[in-house]
Structures are given as C-alpha cells and as structure tokens.
Amino acid sequence: MAHSNVMVKMVFYAVIYAALSATTTVPKVAALMSCDEVKNDLMPCLSFVLFGGFMVPQECCNGARTVYGAAQTTPDRQAVCNCILNAIRGAPTTPFEVANAASIPPKCGLNVPYPITPSIDCSSIK
C-alpha cells in the first residue's frame, strides 16, 4: 500500500515534464509515451522530490529529457498531463515536494513555461 502511494505521488511530479516547451533542443523520441513509461523514466527523481538536495540525480535529468523528447506535440503533452493527473487524484503532496519537483527542470537545463502545480489545466498546455 505504501509503495503504491509513493508511485502515485511520483506520477504527479511527471506532470512538470508533460508541459515542457520546444525551446530546449532534445533528440526526438517516439511519439506519445504510455503512463507506465513516464513513471519508469521519472522514477529516479523520486528521492529528490521527497527529500530535496542541491543536485538532481543525473538519472532523473535523463528521464526528464526522455519524457520531454517524447512529448513534442500539443496533443502528446496534453495526453501525458491528463494521464498523470488521473493517476494522482487523491494522492497527498506537500509544498516541499511540489517545490522540489518544480526545481527539477531548471536544474536539468530544461525550460518549463507553465506553473508546476497539481491543479494544472492540461488543456492549457500547448
């Protein structure tokens, strides 16, 4: 049960990558990813989100770049966002965790032009 709650929480943090803009050059990956692929790619970010730290693990940045590369079109980004939001419904998050998640893209050299929030409107992602 606890592991399931941690997985659901992690999916919330993947939303920050669903909204990435095309302003950073990353190699193009296959079109839309499944929710399981997003969770797997971002799993290395979990400890940073939960506990913070000065540096984001390289594996986390690599996963963020993979998700970014796969979500290149508006429909892809919105689909990933909706998948994540559906998975996190009811999962508690703290302001500390949200702040840690929000700090991942800039620390990994990625640009997120949208607010990092569990209440993001996926239809607003372009």
**pLDDT tens, residue order, the chain (126 aa):** 555 454 445 545 544 443 333 333 333 334 467 888 888 888 899 899 899 999 999 999 999 889 888 888 888 888 777 776 776 666 788 889 888 988 998 999 988 767 667 788 889 888
pLDDT of residue 22: 32
Cβ pair 68, 20 in contact under 8 A:
yes
| Domains of the chain in sequence order | 2-124 (1.10.110.10)
Q: Look at residue 8 in the predicted model and tell me its pLDDT.
A: 45
